[in-house]
Amino acid sequence: MTQKEVNRLSYDIIGYAIEVHKELGPGLLESIYEKCLAHLLIQNGYKVTRQQTVPLNFRGLELDCELRYDLLVNDIIVVELKTVEELIPIHEAQLLTYLKLLKKPKGILINFNCTNIFKEGQRTFVTELYRDLPV
């Protein structure tokens, strides 16, 4: 896996999110956008898991804390979906924590409650694992 391949995958994910948003518009439940985005990704050949538990181990103590990510695409990119008035720092912190716990290189935060996903409704984040990938 290279940075270029990860970037291409994130570009595709955002493109499919834009398709969902254009067709459905804002104002629906997060779970609806999640199902529709996962459906589009799977239809286009991507491996998608939804609502899986994020393991949390604190100094050897396995915690069952029911943390769940929204989507994991090709076992590489974590996608967190929101339907909020605006994205706030806690949403970013949640995604960054999931990336760290899952040991994934990149995450995308998408807010479907906006006018334009590309301009205002998405943010991408990378970890040190991304930095260590070949270009």
Tens digit of each residue's pLDDT, the chain (135 residues): 999 999 999 999 999 999 999 999 999 999 999 999 999 999 999 999 999 988 888 898 988 888 899 999 999 999 999 999 999 999 999 999 999 999 999 999 999 999 999 989 999 999 999 999 999
List, edge to edge, every strand of the sheet that includes 71-73: 48-50, 71-73, 77-82, 106-111, 122-126
What does pTM read for this prediction? Answer: 0.93
CA-to-CA separations, 117 to 15, 108, 114, in angstroms, rounded: 9, 12, 7
By the 10 Å C-beta count (0-12 exposed, 13-18 middle, 19+ buried), 8 is classed as exposed
Token look-up 């999110």 returns 17
